[in-house]
């Protein structure tokens, strides 16, 4: 039975609000872009470089920030991350030209990097395996809500006080969050004053791997770099990021200029994918945990991910068929919802295979996802600019998602990455072989 206290629910509430604020601060510049370009006399190409500066820095600093979350703990590291990005969100208001704006947005991306990997590290300590999918579903519901609210809130603030004031107000939200987080959160559940013995036992129901060991364990880099699981996870998330960034960048242009929607209609259909994705995040988080409990980790994580990504590929391909514009827009919205159905599983798998090093693994995963996000919009831009074709990029996206579905089948969440002394590994192997049991996991999973 669930425990009598629900302290971990407050941890989840903090994570949800963090995701909302993250995407508010990340996407508000898209709404402000026309006003920034007018005031700072920027071209479309220069504004594209500003957007890319964030994504590049975010990709480069994901792994270092995730690693810091593993060795220093989410309480201090996440406080630093949110204060850093909030400061540079506010500093965006001080930009006076193209060079300063690029530098500020690059440093903003460097500061925000690691937020979700460090949250994953926190979840590895505060939630048993049976709840991690739902926890990640709620987390990414927050990101989709932030994505939906960012543009209308930013436009209202800009209309009233100007684009510079909007960045100051958005930055204040993160400062308030980080102060509350640092005062309330604890890296280990047993250190929290509100934790009850019943809830602590519930959190630790999976045994030693989920007991919340002390922060600062040594990172088994050799085991990580030799793990097929890590590379399959990164390949899977590259596919996810490749498709996702189309919705962040080119979707409004495609809806209005290619499909002929009005500004109002294009805006509504641009918001629809995020609405469906938020619903899919909640349902997918529940579904991955349900299947994990009833069918095992491979079905609950990998088979669900395979089906979700393959369905997404089919929906993207279907959007290229000669159907009415409304049907194309709905198919693309359903495609993002299908991909997000597996998002809870995406972020639960790294915790399953290495709860002590979830920050590093999710950092690697998110780095590849954002590199996919860099490449995807470029493919669209080149295809439309040189060949005047929106169909070709969708074919590529469908193929990428299909490859991501296959990558899901290469992941084995039942094979954890552990670091053991070499003499213990060899001794254990000899004992198992002498006893006639199945051999131990291959050296790729045990260093």
What is the CATH number for 345?
Answer: 1.20.1250.20
Does residue 212 lie within any of the structural domains?
A: no
pLDDT digits (tens, 9 = 90+) for 398-437: 999 999 999 999 999 999 876 544 443 444 344 334 434 3
- In the DSSP assignment, the letter for residue 189 is G
Q: Are residues 239 and 294 in the same domain?
A: yes
73 is a domain residue: yes
Q: Tell me if 273 sits within 8 A of 247, measured CB to CB.
A: yes
User: Same structural domain for residues 362 and 328?
Assistant: yes
Q: What is the pLDDT of residues 290-334, one digit of tens each?
A: 999 999 999 999 999 999 999 999 999 999 999 999 999 999 999
Could you tell me if 257 and 172 lie in one domain? Answer: no
Q: Is 159 exposed, middle or buried (0-12, 13-18, 19+ CB in 10 A)?
A: exposed
Domain boundary among 184, 205, 226: 205
> Do 256 and 381 fall within a single domain?
yes
Longest alpha-carbon distance in the chain: 77
Confidence of residue 341 (pLDDT cuts 50, 70, 90): very high
Residue 211 belongs to some domain of the structure = no
Q: Which of 7-21, 44-58, 117-131, 201-215 has the lowest mean pLDDT?
A: 201-215
Report residue 416 as tokens. Answer: 């954890």
Crossing angle (nearest 10°) for helices 44-60 and 62-72: 30
Show the CA angle centred on residue 56, arms to residues 151 and 227, nearest 5°. Answer: 115
Which residues span the domain enclosing 149? 1-205
Residues 391 and 320 sit within 8 Å (Cβ to Cβ): yes
Given 205, 240, 269, the domain boundary residue is: 205
Same structural domain, 200 and 223: no
231 in the same domain as 184 = no
Residues 11 and 154 in one domain: yes
Question: What is the tens place of the pLDDT at every residue in 63-115?
Answer: 898 888 888 899 999 999 999 989 999 999 999 999 999 999 999 989 888 89
Give the pLDDT of residue 217.
59
Q: Which residues pair with 446 in a beta bridge?
A: 418
Residues 243 and 163 in one domain: no
Q: How far apart are CA 396 and CA 387, in angstroms?
A: 14
Residue with tokens 């990029």: 393
Residue for token pair 């069918």: 295
Do 199 and 245 share a domain, yes or no?
Answer: no
Any idea which residue has 């509100």 for tokens? 194
Asked whether residue 54 falls in the same domain as residue 200, the answer is yes
Task: Flag whether 210 is in a domain.
Answer: no
Count of residues making up the chain: 447
Domain termination residue (choose one: 205, 240, 261): 205
Total tally of structural domains belonging to the chain: 2
Residue 197 inside a domain? The answer is yes
One domain, residues 96 and 142: yes
More confident call, 382 vs 164: 164
Is residue 372 in a domain?
yes
Give the tens place of pLDDT for each residue, 132-150: 888 988 998 998 888 778 7
Say how far apart CA 402 and CA 118 lie, in whole Å. Answer: 29
The set of residues, in sequence order, having a beta carbon less than 8 Å from that of 297 and lying 6+ positions away, is 129, 352, 413, 414
Nearest CA-CA partner of 206 in 140, 132, 274? 132
- The rounded distance, in Å, linking the Cα atoms of 214 and 191 is 11
- Residues 134/286, Cβ–Cβ less than 8 Å: yes
Phi, psi of 415, rounded to the nearest 5 degrees = -110, 95
**Which pLDDT score is estimated for 2?**
61
Q: Are residues 72 and 186 in the same domain?
A: yes
**pLDDT on residue 434:** 41
Does the pLDDT of residue 7 top 60, yes or no?
yes
């Amino acid at each position: 039975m669930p425990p009598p206290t629900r302290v971990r629910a407050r941890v989840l509430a903090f994570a949800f609000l963090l995701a909302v604020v993250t995407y508010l601060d990340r996407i508000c510049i898209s709404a402000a872009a026309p006003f920034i370009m007018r005031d700072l006399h920027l071209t479309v190409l220069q504004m594209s470089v500003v957007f890319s500066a964030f994504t590049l820095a975010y990709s480069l600093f994901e792994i270092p920030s995730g690693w810091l979350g593993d060795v220093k703990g989410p309480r201090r590291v996440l406080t630093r991350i949110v204060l850093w990005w909030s400061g540079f969100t506010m500093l965006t208001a001080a930009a006076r030209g193209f060079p300063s704006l690029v530098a500020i947005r690059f440093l903003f991306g460097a500061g925000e990097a690691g937020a979700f990997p460090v949250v994953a590290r926190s979840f590895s300590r505060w939630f048993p395996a049976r709840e991690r999918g739902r926890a990640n579903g709620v987390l990414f519901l927050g990101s989709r809500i932030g994505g939906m609210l960012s543009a209308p809130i930013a436009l209202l603030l800009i209309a009233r006080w100007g684009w510079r004031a909007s960045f100051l107000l958005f930055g204040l939200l993160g400062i308030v969050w980080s102060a509350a987080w640092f005062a309330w959160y604890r890296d280990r559940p047993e250190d929290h004053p509100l934790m009850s013995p019943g809830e602590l036992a519930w959190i630790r129901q999976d045994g030693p791997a989920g007991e919340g060991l002390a922060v600062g364990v040594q990172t088994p880099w050799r085991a990580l770099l030799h793990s097929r699981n890590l590379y399959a996870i990164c390949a899977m998330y590259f596919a996810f990021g490749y498709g996702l960034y189309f919705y962040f960048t080119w979707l409004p242009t495609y809806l209005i200029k290619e499909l002929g929607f009005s500004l109002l209609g294009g805006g509504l259909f641009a918001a629809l994918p995020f609405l469906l994705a938020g619903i899919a995040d909640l349902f997918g988080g529940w579904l991955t945990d349900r299947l994990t409990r009833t069918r095992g980790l491979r079905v609950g994580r990998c088979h669900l991910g395979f089906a979700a990504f393959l369905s997404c590929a089919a929906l993207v391909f279907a959007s290229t068929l000669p159907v009415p514009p409304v049907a194309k827009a709905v198919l693309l919205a359903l495609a993002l919802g299908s991909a997000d159905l597996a998002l809870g599983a995406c972020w639960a798998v790294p915790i399953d295979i290495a709860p002590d090093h979830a920050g590093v693994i999710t950092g690697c995963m998110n780095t590849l996802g954002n590199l996919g996000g860099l490449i995807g919009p470029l493919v669209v831009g080149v295809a439309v600019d040189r060949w005047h074709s929106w169909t070709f990029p969708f074919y590529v996206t469908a193929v990428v998602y299909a490859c991501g579905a296959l990558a899901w089948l290469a992941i084995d969440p039942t094979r954890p990455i552990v670091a053991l002394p070499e003499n213990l590994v060899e001794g254990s192997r000899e004992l198992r072989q002498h006893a006639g049991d199945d051999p131990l996991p291959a050296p790729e999973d045990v260093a």
